[in-house]
Amino acid sequence: MTTTPEAVETTPLEERLIDLIKLKGPISVADFMADALGHPHEGYYMRQASIGAEGDFTTAPEISQVFGELIGLWLVEAWRGMGSPKSFNLVELGPGRGVLMADILRAARLRPEFTKSAMVWLLETSGRLRHEQQKRLRTSEIKPFWADEFADIPPAPSLIIANEFFDCLPIRQFERIENGWRERLVGLDADEKKLAFVLGRTPPPPEIGLPEISESEIGDIYEISSDAQNVAAEICAMLTKHGGHALIIDYGHMASGLGDTLQAVRGHKFWPPLSTPGRADVTAHVDFDALSRTIIDSGAVAHGPVTQGRFLESLGLSLRVEMLCKGKGAAQAEEVRAGAHRISAPNQMGEIFKVACVSAPSSPTPAGFESA
Ligand code: SAH
């Protein structure tokens, strides 16, 4: 992807944020992200999110049906490992256009008992995307329920899946200055006409847990996401009490470290993150190390992360692709192979995307994580 030059247009959300900052001072990157994505009228997911080949960005289930089918079979296996409970939550966090859940339910038809026992819960804040999910899942025999927050999902054994959900959760950023750290905030440029990064005036409180001065250099950025930690803790609480597993799939890093990962995408191009809020998808890489620490502290078991390529291959990606290609024309078969390559090849989505699994204590190790 290339980076697009500074956008010239000003969005209504940008005007609101400029007024707010003039009145109250700079806001955190987390507050900026929360509004840019989730503002009830002007947030990107609320008013225009467009996912898929024609949209601003695309995701693995949008690229290849094999992704959702393999995950569907993984879920059926995990359910059997839980003792095939007669009633369980099948939860998806941030289901986008509903493609992944549709592919999961189609693959899971192999085990009618699984589908009969599942209560499908979709955690989605965007009314527009809920509507798309409803349309796409209309033909499946299961009627999904929607939740605004994780706490709305009833307590029960659960299988939870989150693909490209955690990267939308707001992060705070801290910048190393000469003699310490300052929070990186969103303020205004010199003309007070555009949003610009500024630094907080006072040192952040010690409980943030920033790296030692000796382990960083001036200009380094450190990121934290308390929202990601809170959702992970809620998942763990559900699983440790009622049993089950959660699969977290996203782009991110295995080890916590320094680096600015805030990014925006619009029309399949990288976009300056503070430009045109509400019209671009603003995300950050997921810190899998921090998630693992939360999972372990919550008393659940953390498996992985493993790379997406390795995970899909261990679930039988190549075999499934060849099965799908049988009986198809050359052009169609080529399309299936190209999609599978894109989601699994190391120089495509196979390495940057990671898969982590959260499991209830003393449950069997799920497929794909045996030696992870
Ligand atoms: N999982 C989908 C879409 C990823 S886009 C796919 O793989 O194609 C992110 C999704 O998360 C969107 O559905 C968006 O509306 C939803 N989302 C973002 N922030 C959210 C939040 N705080 N609570 C619930 N859903 C959220």
Ligand 1 contacts CB of residue 304 (under 6 A): no
How many Cα atoms sit within 13 Å of 13 on the Cβ side? 23
Look up residue 17 and give its DSSP letter.
H
Q: What pLDDT is stored for residue 8 in this prediction?
A: 63
DSSP 206-254: GGG-PPPGGG--TT-EEEE-HHHHHHHHHHHHHHHHH-EEEEEEEEEES
Average of pLDDT values for 168-175?
98
The model's pTM: 0.96
Ligand 1 contacts CB of residue 94 (under 6 A): yes
CA 165 to chain centre: 2
Counting from 1 in the atom list of ligand 1, the atom nearest the Cα of 281 is 5
Ligand 1 contacts CB of residue 51 (under 6 A): yes
Confidence of residue 250 (pLDDT cuts 50, 70, 90): very high
Ligand 1 contacts CB of residue 163 (under 6 A): yes
CA 136 to chain centre: 20
Counting from 1 in the atom list of ligand 1, the atom nearest the Cα of 38 is 19
Ligand 1 probe mutation, 44, 57, 58, 125, most atoms within 8 A of CB = 125
Q: What pLDDT is stored for residue 140 in this prediction?
A: 81
Choose among 69, 66, 34, 30: nearest CA to 342: 66
Q: How far, in Å, is the centroid of ligand 1 from the Cα of 178?
A: 38
Residue type for position 194: K
Q: What pLDDT is stored for residue 371 in this prediction?
A: 79
